[in-house]
Structure 1
């Protein structure tokens, strides 16, 4: 491909991500393992998460400009929640089931990149949920995820 689209564009943009998070959070609300974690989420929660994911996947800065959020702010939502590995795995499974249900792009390259981001982000959420101190500087930029990112081992 001469002009490689962003993951955001390939996924179908904001409408597709909002459908994904709406279906996903409906499942979360009925799940015995995850419902207690999300019991008090605001009615706008699924849209904010869609904006966050969209921005990370190369879409417009809807989370940072429209929702008034930041990467440090997203991390702050997880502090002290004491998330567990079983909860993380269920979160991943329900989100991927929801992606299939709403017809999100299912080609191997896209799903590999999406799963890579979800694994990375959910594992950081578990790590960050075990503390009350935010490890992220308020000025740290939003993470950006693409079709394949070189990196290295996690360094806390």
Structure 2
């Protein structure tokens, strides 16, 4: 990819794009019988802001989650002991996709493949990290997600 290729963060509309999408997502979660109990029925404004900050950093935006909120180790601490089921993980991914539509995020295949690829990877890692496994990675950098094999088409 060239130096002119935008980050996924930029392509999404920066923080405002992820705020719209993740707010739509958590609104869906609060109305979902399978996922609402994970959040005791309501997702706090602080949780929403922190997850937006995570996604922004992962997708090529500012490293605020690492520098201000505690990085990977903090995110890991939020998942430990939740025992996320396979059904909950899949619903999470499905609602993330639906929320991207509701929020009007770009719908080009390259962008959607990138963010949904991360959603699949991240939710599988979160589910594992929420288990009683004894080999959970305790320290790692916040991941930086890229376009993979299909950068955005720019004529």
Q: CA shift at 1:50, angstroms? A: 0.8
TM-score of the pair, normalised by structure 1: 0.87
TM-score by length of 2: 0.87
Distance 2:132 2:71 in 1: 19
Question: Are the aligned partners of 1:72 and 1:137 in contact in 2 as well (CA < 8 Å)?
Answer: yes
Q: CA deviation at 1:136?
A: 2.9
The equivalent residue for 1:143 is 143
Aligned to 2:152: none
What SS is found at the alignment partner of 2:100?
helix
Task: Return 5+ residue gaps in structure 1 as ranges.
Answer: 150-156
Q: Which structure 2 residues correspond to residues 5-154 of structure 1 after superposition, within 5 A?
A: 5-39=6-40, 41-66=43-68, 68-131=69-132, 135-138=136-139, 140-148=140-148
Once residues 112 and 93 of structure 1 are traced to their aligned partners in structure 2, the CA distance between those partners, rounded to angstroms, is: 13
**Alpha carbons of structure 1 residues 130 and 28: separation in structure 2 relative to 1, 3 Å:** same
The alpha carbon displacement at 1:73 in A equals 1.4
Give the aligned length: 147
Structure 2: segments with no counterpart, 5+ residues: 150-155
Q: Tell me how far apart the structure 1 counterparts of residues 105 and 144 of structure 2 sit (CA, whole Å).
A: 20
User: Which structure 1 residue ranges, 4+ long, deviate > 3 Å from structure 2?
Assistant: none
Q: Secondary structure at the match of 1:77?
A: helix
Cα offset for 1:41?
4.4
Over the residues paired in the alignment, what is the CA RMSD in angstroms? 1.8
